[in-house]
Structure 1
């Protein structure tokens, strides 16, 4: 089952990526002007972050389109892992930007320079905060509807931008108020450190998905509760779960009394599958039926336990 199969979810996910690219382009234009007027390293840090956000948003746009495509003959499990691959790419570029910002801030610590027209920089940062807040709010709604890890990673970047923009405003105000040019590069270093931490968080989540980490324990417990809610199901074992972009893949072995008819056990297994898919939209569920007390007729020959050679 594809979480993007209905037009509403698919449209929301795509609109979120378009909005992300548009906001990034707006912020880049504003911050280029603010940096050219002020020469602030903190604004430069925020500008570089916005440039990378624009790139990440474009990657997210492509990844969401690929991940929402249906499975094919060549890709039986779909292309859901396009999303964590995109998130991992974002993390690499974000980490690179943090290193570049650290070098730039270090140079300004050695050769401090005064900031010009700080009021322009403050005004631009306020515009950035308002635009980013609107985008993050919309992305939060889309994430609830689609569970897209790529959009979640993109939203995490912009949440970091909110703190970074606030830090830039603080740097500009304190530099003007105290007359200490070293405050600006110090805030630039702090922003770079936060960007690097954000990159680590994104990369870890992407790697978990690429390496097929199990679903969270609370989700696994809910699957178990659903299976055992059917009186015919005596127990369950070998629950295996993983995520691939917007999809969940769930395998479970259900234990039935061996005297239960095959038709009945199959019907119950199907009911379990349907209820789990309703609980976790976008899931593909396979429930295997295991008899716990198999009955053999006395006149049934036992299964062979050894292989007989031709010349025995």
Structure 2
């Protein structure tokens, strides 16, 4: 039986953090009620929201790992964005409720004075959260996981909020009881901010927001460094869960064959996926011209050109057969490459005259701007 979640060092850090948030939330809410501290209760609710976030991250991570199928060709990564958005809304609701309760306490004629147990738990919370920061940050760096590193900084931010809680409790115990509900407002404001950031990022990802300009520039420079790429343009990205899908145009040599252009495109795709872990897949469009500022439109296609050229080739004296035709469309111009075999009875001078005559006739065709004639010897 496969494990629900693969226990990598980074995943273990998330689970340890979730366990820590659970213990702290229970401890702070009970101590806040017993110790008569509104700020500590608010801080406990904040830890509970962190626990809820951890749970959703782990749950949606499992779903996001389900392989792509016919109905979800890009995988199930968006479920992480949906889950985080919902959690953000819940956190904002909780923060708003705490601000309301804290404001009611501030407006009350008398404020409760917290006891020593509330101060001790607030101080203990700071120590535990700093320890969680150090451990999670170490694991995140070890696994090169930006999300786990971000989670570490979330622990550090929690420690800062708990410090505000301790200041409020201490001030209330020293004869300024209003400082406790004021500290609760500060904590609630922090909760609102966390909820806002989560909702903002979730909505942006659901609306296919692209990667940052600095990251896009870094990716562009990397693509341009791949052998065979003259330059790239029209780089587009969208987020699926924690990964990105990219679309990009690359310009290759105008004389490159279809297979050569495909090889360069495949090199770009494979190198990006190998070097950038957050990139899930890349769609590479191959250009032979820089069409950034214009869209070339041609009146004829390859089939039309063959139908125009074949009668001319067949009617040219000295030509035994046409073996291949290649067409090039470049900056609004059409180049025709014709490969022919000549009659064996022709001498060198006659061969030159035949090729020149064929080239002249083909150049007179409508839509053709340049003609190249090549001789097949076998």
In the alignment, structure 1 residue 86 sits paired with structure 2 residue 83: yes
Please give the alpha-carbon distance, in whole angstroms, between the structure 1 residues aligned to 2:214 and 2:254: 30
1:201-212 correspondence runs (5 A): 201-212=197-208
| 2:249 is aligned with 1:236 | no
8 A contact 1:148–1:245 mirrored in 2: no
TM-score (normalizing by structure 1): 0.84
| Equivalence for 1:15 | 12
Q: Look up the match of 1:51.
A: 48
Residue 174 of structure 1 corresponds to 171
Q: Hey, what does 1:64 align to over in structure 2?
A: 61
1:157 positional shift: 4.8
Provide the TM-score with structure 2 as the length reference. Answer: 0.70
Moved over 6 A (4+): 300-303
Per-residue CA deviations over 1:176-226 (Å, capped at 9, x if unaligned) read 22x121111111112212221221122211122111111111221122112
| Aligned residue number for residue 336 of structure 2 | 296
Would you tell me which structure has more strand in proportion to its own residues?
2
Which structure would you say has the larger RCO, counting Cα contacts within 8 Å and 6 or more residues apart? Answer: 1
CA change 1:256–1:214 in 2 (3 A) is: same
1:3 alignment counterpart: none
- Residues 35-64 of structure 1, C-alpha deviations (whole Å, 9 max, x = no match): 132111101111211222222221111011
8 Å CA contact retained: 2:226, 2:267: no
Secondary structure of 1:296's counterpart equals strand
1:76 aligns with 2:54: no
1:114 Cα deviation (Å)?
2.7
Structure 1, unpaired ranges of 5+: 1-7, 304-312
Comparing 22-31 with 284-293, which one deviates more in the overlay? 284-293
Give 1:309's aligned residue. none
5+ residue gaps, structure 2: 290-327, 330-334, 339-361, 368-378
Match for residue 97 of structure 1 among 91, 94, 97: 94
Contact 1:243/1:249 (8 A) holds in 2: yes
Secondary structure at 1:201's aligned position in 2? helix
Shift of 1:143: 4.8
Q: Could you say if the C-alpha distance between residues 140 and 87 of structure 1 is closer, same or farther in structure 2, counting changes exceeding 3 Å?
A: farther
Match 1:246 to one of 232, 235, 242: 242
Structure 1, residues 250-293: CA drift from partner, whole Å, max 9, x if none?
A: 11111122211222222222111122122311421121212226
- Residue from 253, 273, 288 that aligns with 1:277: 273
Which of residues 112, 115, 127 in structure 2 aligns to 1:114?
112
- Cα distance in 1 for residues equivalent to 2:229 and 2:11: 41
Distance 1:141 1:74 in 2: 39
Deviations 1:57-106 (A, max 9, x none): 21111011112332223211111112222221221111111111112112
How many residue pairs end up in the alignment? 294
* 1:5 aligned residue: none
Q: Decide whether the 8 Å contact of 1:254 with 1:290 is kept in 2.
A: yes
From 122, 126, 130, give the equivalent of 1:125. Answer: 122
